[in-house]
Amino acid sequence: MPLYEFRCAADCGRFERSFPMADVPRSVSCPGCEGDATRLVSSPRLGHGSSSAMTLLDATKRSAQEPAVVPGPPPRAASGRSPVTNNPLHRRLPRP
């Protein structure tokens, strides 16, 4: 079930509740003061979970907005040349 965000009218703040999409109410009772809390206009978190696909999507989105800072380029081989493959099938590939 998706999560929906609500805000208390008595300044208790925001909280989330899970409801089926067909049965989501416009207001619920606040868990802090039992007052009226209205639903906010936000995207329901349909995919909020711990699946590996969601983890990958979150990591991809995070790296687009906050890329990891690296100290420099990746280390080169000791000879200074680019790494050479030892796979015999790669010898058939066309040369530049």
Binding site for Zn ion (CB under 5 A): 8, 10, 12, 30, 32-33, 35
By CB atoms closer than 10 A (0-12, 13-18, 19+), residue 62 is: exposed
On the CB side of 63, CA atoms within 13 Å amount to 8
CB of 49 to Zn ion, least distance (A): 28
Written as six digits, the tokens of 96 are 């530049």
11 vs 58, beta carbon nearer Zn ion: 11
15 vs 48, beta carbon nearer Zn ion: 15
CB of 21 to Zn ion, least distance (A): 25
Written as six digits, the tokens of 20 are 């089926």
CB of 3 to Zn ion, least distance (A): 18
Distance CA 78, CA 73 (A): 15
14 vs 61, beta carbon nearer Zn ion: 14
